Amino acid sequence: MKKRTIGFLVAALLALGLLVSTPGMAAETWRIGALFPFTGSLALLGNESFNGAVIAQDMVNEKGGIQGKKVEWEKADGVDPKKAMTECERLIALEKIKLVFGTYSSSLSYAASEVTERNKVIYWEQGAIADNITARGFKYLFRTIPRAGDFGNLAVNFANEVVAPKLKMDAKKMKVGIMFEDSLYGTTVGNSAAKKAKELGMDVVATESYSHKTVDLSSVVMIFKAKNPDVVIATSYMEDAILFWRQAKEMDLNVKVFIGTGAGHGMPEWARIFGNEANYIFNIDPPIGINPKVFKGNTLAVLNDFRERFNKKFGHYPATHATAGFMAAHLLFEVVLPKAGSLDPEAVRKAALEVDIPEGGTVFGFGVKFAPPDNPAAGQNLRGIPVLMQWQEQKLWVVYPASFAVREPLLPLPTWEERAKGVTKFIK
Amino acid sequence: MDITVLQLIINGLLLGGMYALISIGLTLIFGVLEIINFAHGEFLMLAMYAAFWLFQLYGIDPYLSMVIILPLFFLIGVLVQRVTIQPIINAPPLNQIFMTVGLSMVLQNVALFVWTADYRTVKTTYSGLTLKTAGLLISFPRLVAFLLAMGLIAALLIFLKKTYTGKAIRALAQERKAAMLMGINVYRTYQIAFGIGSACVGAAGAMLIPVYFVFPSVGSLFVLIAFVVVILGGYNSLTGSLVGGLIIGVVEAFSGFFISPHLKEAIYFVIFILILLFKPTGLFGRA
């Protein structure tokens, strides 16, 4: 009997607490929903992404907030797509949130943005890259980061604009081989590269997919040996990236240019495992470590301020994920919300669509222009691009596009025989 | 014959040799103890780590490290059998499955905790070494693994045919009760069989590390193929796992090249299903 009384009392107090705390606050602060996988298997990078946004919040609140009102997060833990949806519903129905900021993982973002769109609430995506998120014609969804498909496109553009002239080849006669692991990630990037290459009239000699859990990639090596591509574009996780490169050496596969598109070929482990054999491979990732000359206005100062603050608060310098979180939040706090004047979704939408930032205007170096609702990629930042880097001296250096580059790309890739002898014959 | 076809056969045989090597231990444990060891892949993972650390810390060549790894894994096998399998040897199959699946999860997560999820490789002088003859390419470490697999299987066959312990193991595999009545020490023989099975996978780990790499869940990539090989070969035949391994290897090499790398796993799983449907005892198994 006593237990029940206490239980009732606790419940009553909790209910009272909820009633008192929530509604009154809304008027004095900008309350923004933060939907991330804060716990569970995606937690590491989920938290890292959010931490980037927290620095943007610190910076704006230190200045006294936006139009005199501080920014405040209402955190929601979306560990899986189902939880992301229910948490999103909770934010909207109970917390009266008008803008949800998230999510890092594509499957979570895809599910949660269904809820916001239905409720005409803004969804501000900072880090999920799957193409399909902005392919649904949503009106209240905005994404700042480039899409997976943009990775494939950039690889082909590089082959077309840089590789072909350097190798004195007609781009239309260039033979392109494409390989990708067959999950959603690899398939999206691989297919976009194949499509772009065909659009430019290149000769796509092989498009091979495989399971990244395979223990043998000799068949892909054999196919490439038979079709002899000049350029290989590969989308691999770590284990298949290692396996392929080892088997390429075993079977003496030589191509002129090898472009990885994120994941496996961009990890520090790539150099740790292969040492000098890691060199001269290209990799595509969001723009980090770009040429500071690309930044305009005070952007470089903002980036440095962010990096130092992040290091001070979290004990390490920010990498891609944290920078993506910061970039999206900073854009929201400094440009979009001041213009909108309130969190009213229609006002925020209008302000977002009016954003027109040229190259050099964000900490990623690229500009911002959101695709309008009639565009097939409605809500996508059309100026968002990744950059191409190259492993030189076992480090990654940005080499393309030229305005972002810190080094010259070195081609062609030395053959295995040349590597063994230590000779390289790069074209000036 | 076309040089590409010859090269594919070589690739397939070398790959198949690797599969056979991994499957031998599984066959032995499966055939004698009639226990499906789901932790087999994790034993492989531990063996690869053992070879990796012996190389990394003491500079011991992976092939040479077998001198240490074989007895070590024999002992580990005996111990694991004594502690985890022995008590449930007469339990229903479901309980045994739970035990080995549980063991595999524990080992995987302990490895993750102790060694992190990093991918680790060894760099020996022969790691990427390839022999070139008449336009054909033969990876040296893969060839060594292939030849050692043959040698190991031959040695095991002789052991099972000629020695008392070998005969006892075969007797147990054929008929447990009758063997018991003939005065064979059942539990001791089980321990030895499990020990030999583990030693085989220990050897496989040491031979794989120069061509492959190790991380905590590497076993799960190989163990599925090992099961296909064991079923194909006939679940208690060592010759069967050799032939089965080679067949799967060659099928994979050819289907990957001529059909699609995307479908090569699907194709050998279709073979797996067909075998189960039409010859459940496998190629060399007895009814």
DSSP reduced 3-state for A36: strand
What is the pLDDT confidence band of residue A196, given thresholds at 50, 70 and 90?
very high
Compute the average pLDDT of residues A257-280.
Answer: 89
Q: Is the pLDDT of residue A53 over 60?
A: yes
Q: How far apart are CA A299 and CA A316, in angstroms?
A: 21
Q: Is the pLDDT of residue B282 over 50?
A: yes
Is B105 contained in some domain? yes
Structure token pair of residue A365: 């170096």
Query: In this predicted structure, what is the pLDDT of residue A113?
Result: 95
Q: Tokens 């790398």 appear where? A: B261
Cβ pair A214:B123 closer than 8 A: no
Query: In this predicted structure, what is the pLDDT of residue A19?
Result: 46
User: For A295-337, how does the pLDDT look when each residue is reduced to its tens digit (9 = 90+)?
Assistant: 999 999 999 999 999 999 999 999 889 999 999 999 999 999 9
Q: Tell me whether A207 touches chain B (CB under 8 Å).
A: no
Query: Among all residues of chain A, which has the CA nearest to that of B208?
Result: A215
Compute the average pLDDT of residues B177-204.
Answer: 90
Which of the pair, A2 or B45, is modelled with greater confidence? B45
Q: Is the pLDDT of residue A8 over 60?
A: no
Is B103 contained in some domain? yes
Cβ-based neighbours of B284, under 8 Å, separated by 6 or more: B233, B234, B237, B239, B240, B243
Q: How far apart are CA B191 and CA A42, in angstroms?
A: 42
Q: How far apart are CA A196 and CA A147, in angstroms?
A: 14
Cβ-based neighbours of A31, under 8 Å, separated by 6 or more: A25, A72, A73, A74, A95, A97, A343
Query: In this predicted structure, what is the pLDDT of residue A409?
Result: 94
DSSP reduced 3-state for B65: coil
User: For B94-149, how does the pLDDT look when each residue is reduced to its tens digit (9 = 90+)?
Assistant: 888 899 999 999 999 999 999 988 889 888 888 778 888 888 899 999 999 899 88
Are the beta carbons of A321 and A52 closer than 8 angstroms?
Answer: yes
Of A208, A211, A218, Cβ closest to residue B265: A211
A259 alpha carbon, distance to own chain's centre: 18
Is B284 contained in some domain? no
Of A218, A246, A275, Cβ closest to residue B11: A218
* For testing contact with chain A, the best of B213, B225, B228, B246 (most A CBs within 10 A): B213
Q: Is the pLDDT of residue A14 over 60?
A: no
Work out the end-to-end distance of chain A between its first and last CA atoms, rounded to an integer number of angstroms. 87
Compute the average pLDDT of residues A52-56.
Answer: 97
Q: What ipTM does the predicted assembly reach?
A: 0.89
**Which chain B residues are closer than 8 Å to A243 by Cβ?**
212-213
CATH number, domain with residue B192: 1.10.3470
A3: left (phi over 0), alpha (psi -120 to 50) or beta: alpha
- Give the C-alpha distances (Å, rounded to integers) separating B23 from A77, B91, B240, B276, B279: 44, 25, 10, 18, 19
Which residues of chain B are at the A interface, by a Cβ-Cβ cutoff of 8 Å? 4, 7-8, 11, 15, 118-119, 121, 123, 128, 130, 137, 139, 142, 211-213, 215, 221-222, 225, 252-253, 255-257, 260-262, 264-265
% of chain A exceeding 70 in pLDDT: 94
Is B276 contained in some domain? no
Q: Tell me whether A213 touches chain B (CB under 8 Å).
A: yes
Q: How far apart are CA A307 and CA A304, in angstroms?
A: 5
What is the pLDDT confidence band of residue A2, given thresholds at 50, 70 and 90?
low
What is the pLDDT confidence band of residue A25, given thresholds at 50, 70 and 90?
very low
User: For A282-291, how does the pLDDT look when each residue is reduced to its tens digit (9 = 90+)?
Assistant: 999 999 889 9
A315: left (phi over 0), alpha (psi -120 to 50) or beta: left
* For testing contact with chain B, the best of A216, A220, A223, A274 (most B CBs within 10 A): A216
% of chain A exceeding 90 in pLDDT: 78
Q: Tokens 């390839």 appear where? A: B130
Q: What share of chain B is helix, strand, coil (3-state, %, to 5)?
A: 75, 5, 20
**Which chain A residues are closer than 8 Å to B256 by Cβ?**
216, 218-220, 222
User: For A370-403, how does the pLDDT look when each residue is reduced to its tens digit (9 = 90+)?
Assistant: 999 999 999 999 999 999 999 999 999 999 999 9
β-pairing verdict for A231-235 and A122-125: unpaired
Q: Tell me whether A161 touches chain B (CB under 8 Å).
A: no
Mean of per-residue pLDDT scores for chain A: 91
Q: Is the pLDDT of residue A27 over 80?
A: no
Is B136 contained in some domain? yes
Q: Is the pLDDT of residue A13 over 70?
A: no
Cβ-based neighbours of B113, under 8 Å, separated by 6 or more: none
Are the beta carbons of B149 and B17 closer than 8 angstroms?
Answer: yes
Q: Is the pLDDT of residue B285 over 90?
A: no
Is B87 contained in some domain? yes
User: For B14-68, how does the pLDDT look when each residue is reduced to its tens digit (9 = 90+)?
Assistant: 999 989 989 988 988 888 888 888 999 999 999 999 999 999 999 999 999 999 9
Structural domain count, chain B: 1
Domains of chain A: 2-146+296-354 (3.40.50.2300), 149-285+386-421 (3.40.50.2300)
Query: In this predicted structure, what is the pLDDT of residue A3?
Result: 55
Cβ pair B119:A238 closer than 8 A: yes
* For testing contact with chain A, the best of B9, B257, B258 (most A CBs within 10 A): B257
Query: In this predicted structure, what is the pLDDT of residue A75?
Result: 96
What is the pLDDT confidence band of residue A263, given thresholds at 50, 70 and 90?
confident
Is B227 contained in some domain? yes
Backbone angles phi, psi at A381, to 5 degrees: -75, 105
Q: DSSP for A320-370?
A: HHHHHHHHHHHHIIIIIHHHH-S--HHHHHHHHHH--B-TTSSTTS--B-B
User: For B84-95, how does the pLDDT look when each residue is reduced to its tens digit (9 = 90+)?
Assistant: 888 888 888 888
Query: Among all residues of chain A, which has the CA nearest to that of B259?
Result: A219
Cβ pair A222:B4 closer than 8 A: yes
**Which is nearest to A104 in space by CA: A88, A84, A74?**
A84
Query: Among all residues of chain A, which has the CA nearest to that of B142?
Result: A250
Is B283 contained in some domain? no
Compute the average pLDDT of residues A337-345.
Answer: 95
- Expressed as residue numbers, the domain containing B71 is 3-266
Q: Tell me whether A209 touches chain B (CB under 8 Å).
A: yes
